[in-house]
Structure 1
Amino acid sequence: MGSLQKTKEQAVDLNSLSFAQKQRLSFIDFSLLFKGAVSRKKLTTKFEMGMANATRDLAVYKELAPSNMEFDQKERTYFQAKTFKPLFNYDARQTMAKLSNKISDGFHGVLETPFPVDAPYQLNVPDIFIVAKIVQAILKQKPISIIYTSLSSGSKAREIIPHTIVDNGLRWHVRAFDKKTESFRDFVLTRISKVVIKDTPIESHEEEINDHQWVRMIDLQIVPHPNNIKEPKAIMMDYGMVDGVLELKVRAALAGYLLRRWNVDCTPDATLKGAEYQLWLKNSIALYGAKNLVIAPGYTENE
């Protein structure tokens, strides 16, 4: 997940560690950072190793970073210490990509073979340590206090109950229940400057299952734009359409982001002009009742 960074506390010779052991130490570090805990059992299950080997790896990690974890005898688990500082360096873009693909380890060293794949840069990348705290809160089902800077009211303290981190294609946000407005909303991760996990239970109406825009699934039928495209077959090939239609099932809370990202014309009669509108939403009526559609190209609520 990252490269080792040597500290004054370390007594172990980092050069003496095998690549495999660095991977296991990376998993320990990652688990402490994003999950807030790690155990011998997690190590043995993840790497199919014996308990004695897991104990040795945890001891090595403890020697490398003595202030990073505390052992709870009752739960037989190592928890993140308040003085935790990552043993590894984490590249923000790579880490966010791996988090979104459910990858929880993978030390980046000289033995890894780079893949000949590239992608355009995102203009903004969240603070990994802000993300880590939010991930911990989601896993523990706890509220968080944040300092959030909005376009309308500037920087203010908010209390939210997060349930999912989302890459909408343009930026990262967290879907959460907002105590202030008593509603589920999207909070842009790069606008959060401080996170404190609160040790209080969440109420039933604040749970993900009651985020109706999140749990509601919408069936979209996207086709080549009937007026802007001369060769619809090319568009069909681009998007792997079957019988000229790309059928998608998307959360209502995310529909607007998807439609904007791909410049899908959402007008009833495909009236948007321009080379950027290569796709048309054939069944715009399916969006009825969905919120956050002001960003969907051409969509109006009275349709």
Structure 2
Amino acid sequence: MLDSISFAQRQRLAYIDFCLLFKGAIYRQDLINRFEVGLSAGSRDFNLYKELAPENLDYDSSGKRYYQTAQFKPLFEHDAQRTLTKLANDISDGFDAIGDMHFPVEAPSSLNIPDIFIVAKLVQAILNNKAVSVIYTSLSSGSNARELVPHAIVDNGLRWHVRAYDRKSNSFRDFVLTRISKVTLKQSPAAEERSEQDAEWHRLLPLQLVPHPKNVSFPTAIEMDYGMENSQLLINVRAAMAGYLLRRWNVDCTERATLKGAEYQLWLQNRFTLNNVENLAIAPGYIKS
């Protein structure tokens, strides 16, 4: 039946499906505002969606919204990698569910692609300000139940992780999405567990990056690669993300630019900015003073 309806209506149905999956609910007005359709057209879309997937949504008359049921199964296929990229760039329209134009551009493969339903539950928790119970497999302790309060999903350049308050360690940490095998929504978090209390997340570090003084023979090439001005690149990065960026760009973080190798084309000139930053074990050459 999906093949027999117009492309525009398939887009709207995909948007309903996307919101139910990732938000857990959708208001009729959300659809009307997003696609600039009339009230009657919006009602027809919801009626058609319910005809196609009757077990996917129920209507809450008091809240005047449609919400996801426990039996929910997506009507469309939502590709995990493309959906995560769209979410990261605030393009949460669900259009990937019905196919996009493909361009001849390739990117390096990630280690693994997260389970779309795990991602959806975590996004629901973040949007609805909920804690979650998960099964997490770590390198140090194997598979165990943990309670987290997630507030952001992040691409660290190699894989996706969720930034969350961990009730086991009573601290904010990063958890790799592909190591999470089950997610259950819990009650709302306490004040000290909310994202506003994540100091490393909200603290911005100024990084002063320059062409490596020993490994690069023609620094102008590096200046062009990174759009440097006055032979340097000045950027601000979250303290919680600094280690990931420094590793991804292979930035030499030693005090006197002593790392050797063609891969080290940048040097962190203001190394002192990393003082009192956690999670820097992966920063190339960094040794805490």
TM range (shorter): over 0.9
Match in the other structure for 2:193: 206
Q: How does 1:94-173 map to 2 (within 5 A)?
A: 94-105=82-93, 106-107=95-96, 109=98, 112-173=100-161
Aligned pair partner of 1:225 in 212, 234, 238:
212
Match of 2:20 among 17, 27, 32: 32
Structure 1 residue 50 displacement after superposition = 0.6
Could you say what secondary structure the match of 1:248 adopts? strand
Residue 122 of structure 1, CA deviation? 1.1
Partner of 1:247: 234
Q: Which runs of 5+ in 1 are unaligned?
A: 1-12
CA distance in 1, matches of 2:223, 2:19: 42
Q: From 248, 273, 276, give the equivalent of 1:286.
A: 273
Q: Report the equivalent of 1:301.
A: 288
Identity of aligned residues (%): 59
- 1:164-188, Cα deviation, whole Å (9 max, x unpaired): 0000000110000000110000011
Q: Aligned partners of 1:89 and 1:201: how far apart in 2? A: 30
Partner of 1:18: 6
1:46–1:183 Cα change, 3 Å = same
CA contact (8 A) 1:24 1:57 kept: yes
- Residue by residue, what CA displacement relative to the aligned partner does 1:126-168 show, whole Å, maximum 9, x if unpaired? 1110000000000111110000000011000000100000000
Shift of 1:94: 1.3
TM-score by length of 2: 0.98
| CA positional deviation for 1:117 | 2.0
Instruction: Using structure 1 for the length normalisation, give the TM-score.
Output: 0.93
Q: How many residues align?
A: 288
- How far is the alpha carbon of 1:108 from its aligned partner? 5.3
Q: Secondary structure at the match of 2:77?
A: strand
Partner Cα distance (2:97, 2:129) in 1: 31
Q: Alpha carbon RMSD of aligned pairs, Å?
A: 1.0
Alignment of 1:235 onto 2:222: yes
Q: Within 2, Cα distance between the matches of 1:90 and 1:163?
A: 22
